[in-house]
């Protein structure tokens, strides 16, 4: 009996702590702009450099309660298609990551602009991208999902290193344990009552 009650209690508290959620999201409506958002493009030519943001079209992950994911990547090329281009400042170029979530709810939101600083050439880069506020939460209560850039600031590769690709790593977290279901409260109450009854019987002379 004691073993059964212990199993019940552990199951109840395990249920309270569970926060798994299936999350489907994409970043296809993001923008890579010189200055403020609103440019509506994912590519910018700065001097002899081309900077491209490759978004996540759609991806489904299981956050339990969180999982690593991707927000796409930044790619730097030489405009003329060769691997030879002089150093060029990228200051003023900003990436606005827009999250398009279809599950668990249809919601959209934007992470505060990622600001690119520094310069890039064919074989050399001192450029990076950083976010002053690298996360956003979509939804509320048990359906809230938090999206966060997990590897910022990110050093940007020049065209000759990793083909100019720099991955934007993410972490997606479910807050589905914020408000437990009524049935969970009922299970907890039943388990605690049973444990209390057994304790009282054992303490009698």
pLDDT at residue 196, rounded to an integer: 52
Angstrom distance (rounded) from CA 175 to CA 65:
7
Q: Which of 46, 90, 98 is nearest to 72 (CA)?
A: 98
Residue with tokens 């405009």: 79
Angstrom distance (rounded) from CA 92 to CA 114:
10
Q: What is the mean pLDDT of residues 48-65?
A: 97
Q: Between these two residues, 6 and 128, which has the higher pLDDT value?
A: 128
Angstrom distance (rounded) from CA 113 to CA 122:
26
8 A C-beta contact, residue 131 and residue 151: no
Which residues have C-beta within 8 Å of that of residue 69, sequence separation ≥ 6?
A: 59, 61, 169, 170, 171, 172
CA distances to 114, 129, 185, 189, 196 from 201, rounded to whole Å, are 63, 64, 25, 19, 9
pLDDT at residue 38, rounded to an integer: 97
Continuous segment of H or E residues that includes residue 195: helix 182-203
Instruction: Give 156's DSSP letter.
Output: P
pLDDT at residue 205, rounded to an integer: 55
Angstrom distance (rounded) from CA 120 to CA 49:
8
Residue 13 neighbours by CB distance under 10 Å? 14
Continuous segment of H or E residues that includes residue 12: helix 2-17
Q: How confident is the model over 131-189, as pLDDT tens digits?
A: 999 999 999 999 999 999 999 999 999 999 999 999 999 999 999 864 444 444 444 44
Instruction: Specify the pTM.
Output: 0.79
Angstrom distance (rounded) from CA 56 to CA 72:
5
pLDDT at residue 83, rounded to an integer: 77
Angstrom distance (rounded) from CA 29 to CA 14:
38
Q: How confident is the model over 72-120, as pLDDT tens digits?
A: 999 999 999 887 899 999 999 999 999 999 999 999 999 999 999 999 9
pLDDT at residue 82, rounded to an integer: 84
């Amino acid at each position: 009996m004691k073993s059964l009650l212990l199993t019940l209690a552990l199951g109840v508290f395990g249920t309270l702590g569970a926060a798994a959620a299936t999350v489907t999201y994409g970043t296809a409506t993001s923008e890579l702009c010189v200055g403020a958002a609103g440019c509506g493009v994912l590519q910018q030519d700065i001097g002899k450099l081309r900077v491209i943001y490759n978004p996540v079209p759609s991806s489904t992950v299981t956050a339990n309660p969180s999982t690593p994911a991707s927000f796409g990547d930044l790619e730097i090329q030489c405009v003329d298609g060769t691997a030879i281009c002089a150093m060029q400042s990228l200051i003023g170029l900003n990436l606005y990551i827009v999250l398009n979530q279809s599950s668990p709810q249809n919601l959209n939101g934007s992470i505060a602009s990622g600001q690119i600083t520094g310069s890039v050439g064919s074989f050399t880069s001192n450029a990076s991208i950083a976010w002053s506020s690298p996360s956003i939460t979509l939804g509320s209560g048990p359906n809230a999902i938090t999206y966060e850039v997990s590897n910022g600031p990110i050093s940007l590769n020049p065209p000759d290193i990793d083909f100019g690709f720099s991955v934007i790593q993410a972490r997606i977290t479910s807050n589905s344990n914020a408000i437990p279901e009524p049935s969970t409260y009922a299970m907890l109450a039943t388990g605690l009552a049973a444990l209390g009854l057994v304790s009282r019987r054992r303490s009698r002379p």
